[in-house]
Amino acid sequence: MARRFFVGGNWKMNGNKESLEQLITILNTASLDDQTEVVCAAPSIYLDFARSLLDPGIGVSAQNCYKVAKGAFTGEISPAMIKDCGADWVILGHSERRHVFGESDELIGQKVAHALESDLGVIACIGEKLEEREAGTTEEVVYAQTQVIAENVTDWGKVVLAYEPVWAIGTGKTATPEQAQEVHEKLRAWFRANVSDDVSESLRIIYGGSVTGANCRELASQGDVDGFLVGGASLKPEFVDIINARA
C-alpha cells in the first residue's frame, strides 16, 4: 500500500501577521507536489489567521493542546477550539514539550486519546536525546514513547508518527539518511509485532531534525521515511523544495 508523503511545517513560536502572510503567499503561489500532504502548524493565536489565508489544499495544525474539552485550565487550548478555528491537526509530544516543559509520556498519551476522540489528526512525536543515542538506548527510548502513544490510539488512520532525534533538532546536525531509515524500519517492525501488519504498512512515519532543502531529497529516498516535520526551514522559501522532495 502506497503511503502518501506528508510534510508538516512546525512554525514553533515564530512569526507575526506580516511575516506569516508573506510565507503563506509563497506557499499559495508555489507549484507544490499534489502527491504530498502539506500541513502548517501555526502558533495557536494565529490558527484562524493561517486558516483564512492558506490555500484550502494545505492543512493547518496546532502545536499542542490539552487533554479535556474545556474548563479551568488557564493558558491551555482544547481540540474543540482548534477545530473551531478550522484546523484539523495537532502536534503532540514534541521534544520541546517533553524536555522544555516537562510533559510526561502519560500526559502525552492522554492528550493523544482526547484529540483523536475529538476527531483531530495527531502528529505524534518521539525521539531520543544525544546521551541516549550514545548510550545505545535509542530503540528502548523510542519504543517506550511509542507504546504509550499506541495505548491511546483507536484510529491509526488519523495518526502520523514523527521520529525526531532530539540531538538533531535545531542543532544543524541531521541524522544521516541511513540512521533515519534504520530507526524508521525498526519502528515499523515494532508496529508489526505490537499493533498489526496493516498499521505497520499504512502508518506514515516521518522524520524531523534539521531537514533542509539541501538534505531533503536524500532523506525522502529512504523506503521507510514517509515525509518530514520541518522546523526552521518551514519559515523559509526552501520549505517549497522540501514539500517537493519526491517530485
| Active-site residue identified among 96, 128, 164, 184 | 164
Query: What is the number of other CB atoms lying within 10 angstroms of the CB of residue 79?
Result: 24
> Taking a C-beta distance cutoff of 8 angstroms, is the pair 238, 213 a contact?
yes
Place of cell 520549505: 239
Please work out, in degrees rounded to the nearest 5, the angle formed at the alpha carbon of residue 33 by the alpha carbons of 29 and 39.
Answer: 75
**Residue 3 gets which letter from DSSP?**
P
| Known catalytic residue at 164 | yes
Write out the three cell numbers for 210.
Answer: 534539521
Helix pair angle (177-194, 138-150), 10° resolution: 50
Nearest to 161 by CA among 137, 145, 141: 145
User: What separation, in Å, do the N-terminal and C-terminal C-alpha atoms of the chain show?
Assistant: 19
| Active-site residue identified among 94, 103, 114, 128 | 94
| Known catalytic residue at 238 | no
Instruction: Give burial (CB, 10 Å; 0-12/13-18/19+) of 65.
Output: buried
> Counting runs of H as helices and runs of E as strands, what totals does the chain give?
11, 8
Instruction: Give the catalytic positions in this structure.
Output: 94, 164
